[in-house]
Amino acid sequence: MEETRNFIEKIIEDDLANNRVPDGKIRTRFPPEPNGYLHIGHIKAICVDFGMAQKYGGTCNLRLDDTNPAKEDNEYIDSIKTDIKWLGFDWGKNEYYASDYYQQLYEIALDLIRKGLAYVDSQTPEEVKLNRGTLTAPGVNSPDRDRSIEENLRLFDEMKRGMYPEGKYLLRAKLDMASPNINMRDPALYRIKYATHPRTGDKWCIYPMYDFTHPISDAIEGITHSFCTLEFEDHRPAYDWACTIDGIEHAPHQYEFARLNISYFVLSKRKLLQLVQQKIVSGWDDPRMPTISGIRRRGYSPESMKDFVSRVGLAKVEGQVDYSLMEFCVREDLNRRARRVMAVLDPIKLIIDNYPADKTEFFDAENNPEDPDSGTRPISFSGEVYIEREDFMEVPPKGYHRLYIGNEIRLKHAYYVTATSCEKDAEGNVTAVHCTYDPESRGGATADGRKVKGTSHWVNAKDCLKAEARLYDKLFASENPGFATGNYLDDLNPDSLIVNSVAVVETSLKDSKPGDYLQFIRNGYFTPDIDSTSEHLVFNRTVTLKDSWAKTKEKMGL
């Protein structure tokens, strides 16, 4: 099958083939602003920036776009690095900060002023906005547009020395207030901001704007292909203008692709920050968050997410991807890698009356039928085990093939058992089930070859471990959070977390650690939470299994 290339690959291959790339080495960059944690949308950008560099033997810089000290933090920088590495990408020594270029940017700005190409504007922010015009009406020149070069130099210097309050002055490029592109109507280059910067501290109180900083940072680093999302398309003329400023020797090119949007998700750092600040979630790494740290804690693998973004593909039109495609990728990957273990989430005791008292025996349980190299582990068995409460019914409906009095089922890896009676409390709730086992059925098959329709998982009641299971669902109950009311917080799913503290698990999970991918047989994929210890095991449900019984139940209206 011929490999189909996306539009970005075509651009790169065309540039390489026509010697438009110095040394034939493409250079990209991933430029997050450290004002929040990375989310699933960023995985797409990371796979483009790092992925293309990797594919074509180039390099990808990590550039922290740290030009808004009021919102940025070292905690975010650290998390960004951790997340990119977790995805399996490496920037090597190429770690840069927009703030590394503050001095250069400042000198470029001075030069623009000296050449009469930039001016200090004293309009209020409201006036600036008003006079910028609209998509249909041209802007109005600032009364300060023709301020003398000397005065511009003096005012810019005084701005830099902290003599004016925020919002008092703005340095703007003198382009064209009548341009059909609003971003070309004298874009702001510098603003006054009093905030301690995570890296430059209080050295600066004027900060360069995105449309000025970004292209020049790209140019300084020798970036050949500067990829970003579609909302920057309208900024491309400003990007190209900045690359023509005197002294800029290398002109990179910007290319835009569609953002990743996923149904049921909000992917905006501003909204995610609000969820954290309002304590709607436990933090940026809450397993319900679409942040990389959230999905990692939830148990998604980096491979499944890379597979997901590659299936979504690269387009130039915005669209929304269905949440279920992401879960499909997660299940597919976990099906291959997850170790199968037994855990009972809603336990009820099954007492095997004809099993020798005080006897314990062991079975070899396969770790993963999908992976022949994964081996087996011993699991212990005795005359008392726990099974799921829903695996026994006193009065079974038609089509129910699990345990009921007189019915025989298989205990996974162990024996065939037949229910004989049950115990109940004063309210009539079943508290224990009695059964007999067939000693000839060891390992799950009988000499006479008789078949049973049900198989239940179980754990040995005599040595199992208690565990907390955190059952996660979507954080939002609506496909487009906020679509109906305008406030995405109106669409929170009240059942996005259900804590189960009665679960019991097999002993092999005693020392399980975050990053272990597990399948609790018939209950879903799980992973140990970062809160988990050997004394207090905590498991996060990553994603449910497709449960055929749930579907049957639905069909039968049960």
Residues of this chain, 270-329, that bind ligand ATP according to CB under 6 A:
270
Strands (DSSP E) found in 337-454: 339-341, 343-344, 347-352, 361-366, 376-381, 384-388, 408-411, 416-424, 430-438
Question: Binding marks (x or -) toward ligand ATP, 251..270, rule CB under 6 A?
Answer: --------xx------xxxx
Residues of this chain, 27-56, that bind Mg ion according to CB under 5 A:
33
Q: From the list Mg ion, ligand ATP, none, which binds 260 (C-beta under 5 to 8 Å, kind-based)?
A: ligand ATP
Q: Supply φ then ψ for residue 388, to 5 degrees.
A: -70, 140
- Smallest CA-to-CA distance from 209 within 190, 192, 186 is with 190
Q: In this structure, what token pair is assigned to residue 478?
A: 């609506």
Q: How far is the CB of 320 from ligand ATP (least distance, A)?
A: 11
Residues of this chain, 164-223, that bind ligand ATP according to CB under 6 A:
none
Q: From the list ligand ATP, Mg ion, none, which binds 45 (C-beta under 5 to 8 Å, kind-based)?
A: ligand ATP
- Binds ligand ATP (CB under 6 A): choice among 12, 26, 31, 329: 31
Closest residue to ligand ATP in the complex (CB): 41
DSSP 230-279: GGGGGGHHHHHHHTTSTT-----EEEEEPPP-BTT----HHHHHHHHHTT
Can residue 73 be called a binding residue for ligand ATP (CB under 6 A)?
Answer: no
SS (H, E, C) 116-168: CCEEEECCCHHHHHHHCCCCCCCCCCCCCCCCCHHHHHHHHHHHHCCCCCCCC
Nearer to ligand ATP, 260 or 518 (CB): 260
Cβ burial, residue 482 (10 Å; 0-12/13-18/19+): middle
Nearer to ligand ATP, 171 or 292 (CB): 292
Nearer to Mg ion, 269 or 402 (CB): 269
CA distance 356 to 422: 20
Can residue 44 be called a binding residue for ligand ATP (CB under 6 A)?
Answer: yes
The answer to whether residues 513 and 528 touch, using CB atoms and an 8 Å cutoff, is yes
> H or E stretch including 309?
helix 302-312
Residues of this chain, 272-301, that bind Mg ion according to CB under 5 A:
none
Q: From the list Mg ion, ligand ATP, none, which binds 41 (C-beta under 5 to 8 Å, kind-based)?
A: ligand ATP
Q: How far is the CB of 33 from Mg ion (least distance, A)?
A: 5
Nearer to ligand ATP, 415 or 488 (CB): 488
Helical spans, DSSP H, in 7-143: 7-17, 40-55, 74-86, 102-114, 125-131
- Binds ligand ATP (CB under 6 A): choice among 228, 365, 433, 538: 228
Size, binding site for ligand ATP by CB under 6 A: 15
Size, binding site for Mg ion by CB under 5 A: 1
CA distance 477 to 483: 12
Q: From the list ligand ATP, Mg ion, none, which binds 31 (C-beta under 5 to 8 Å, kind-based)?
A: ligand ATP
Can residue 229 be called a binding residue for ligand ATP (CB under 6 A)?
Answer: yes
Nearer to ligand ATP, 229 or 493 (CB): 229
Q: Find the angle CA(7)-CA(10)-CA(12) to the nearest 5 degrees.
A: 110
Q: How far is the CB of 230 from ligand ATP (least distance, A)?
A: 9
Residues serving a catalytic function are 33, 259, 269
Q: How far is the CB of 24 from ligand ATP (least distance, A)?
A: 25
- Smallest CA-to-CA distance from 227 within 53, 362, 400 is with 53
Three-class secondary structure of residue 391 per DSSP: helix
Can residue 45 be called a binding residue for ligand ATP (CB under 6 A)?
Answer: yes
Can residue 436 be called a binding residue for ligand ATP (CB under 6 A)?
Answer: no
Can residue 242 be called a binding residue for ligand ATP (CB under 6 A)?
Answer: no
How far, in Å, are 358, 363, 406, 408, 412 from residue 434 at the CA level?
Answer: 17, 22, 11, 12, 17
Can residue 32 be called a binding residue for ligand ATP (CB under 6 A)?
Answer: yes
- Binds ligand ATP (CB under 6 A): choice among 33, 127, 384, 473: 33
Q: From the list ligand ATP, Mg ion, none, which binds 105 (C-beta under 5 to 8 Å, kind-based)?
A: none
How far, in Å, are 165, 350, 353, 404, 479 from residue 422 at the CA level?
Answer: 79, 9, 12, 9, 45
Q: How far is the CB of 80 from ligand ATP (least distance, A)?
A: 8
Residue with tokens 């000198």: 107
Number of Cβ within 10 Å of residue 451's Cβ equals: 8
Cβ burial, residue 513 (10 Å; 0-12/13-18/19+): exposed
Q: How far is the CB of 343 from ligand ATP (least distance, A)?
A: 35
Q: From the list ligand ATP, Mg ion, none, which binds 252 (C-beta under 5 to 8 Å, kind-based)?
A: none
Closest residue to Mg ion in the complex (CB): 33
Q: How far is the CB of 125 from ligand ATP (least distance, A)?
A: 21
Q: How far is the CB of 496 from ligand ATP (least distance, A)?
A: 21
Binding site for ligand ATP (CB under 6 A): 31-33, 41-42, 44-45, 228-229, 259-260, 267-270
Binding site for Mg ion (CB under 5 A): 33
